[in-house]
């Protein structure tokens, strides 16, 4: 399932996939795969992404 909330939050912070990837220590392809729903990130990566985007886990990853 696509993660449109992640993409929207990233866009609102004016961050590219590359910017977010560098911030959380993964590749741009990993961020792309998460947004497309092709990759299920670890809880630690989810937390890092939330911190980078000033969002909660509920806001980005839970229905």
Q: What are phi and psi of 42, to 5 degrees?
A: -70, 160
CA–CA separation, 57 vs 47, rounded Å?
7
Tell me, yes or no, whether 31 lies in a domain: yes
What confidence score (pLDDT) does residue 21 get?
98
Q: What DSSP element (H or E) covers 57? A: helix 57-61
CA–CA separation, 63 vs 28, rounded Å?
24
Nearest to 15 by CA among 42, 55, 44: 55
Tell me, yes or no, whether 37 lies in a domain: yes
Structural domain total, the chain:
1
CA–CA separation, 27 vs 20, rounded Å?
9
* CATH number of the domain to which 22 belongs: 1.10.260.40
pLDDT tens across 2-57, in order?
Answer: 899 999 999 999 999 999 999 999 999 999 999 999 999 999 999 999 999 999 99
């Amino acid at each position: 399932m696509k993660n449109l909330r992640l993409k929207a939050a990233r866009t609102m912070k004016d961050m590219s996939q590359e910017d977010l990837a560098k911030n959380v220590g993964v590749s741009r392809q990993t961020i792309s795969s998460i947004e497309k729903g092709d990759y299920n990130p670890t809880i630690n990566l989810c937390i890092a992404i939330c911190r980078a985007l000033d969002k909660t886990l509920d806001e980005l990853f839970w229905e």
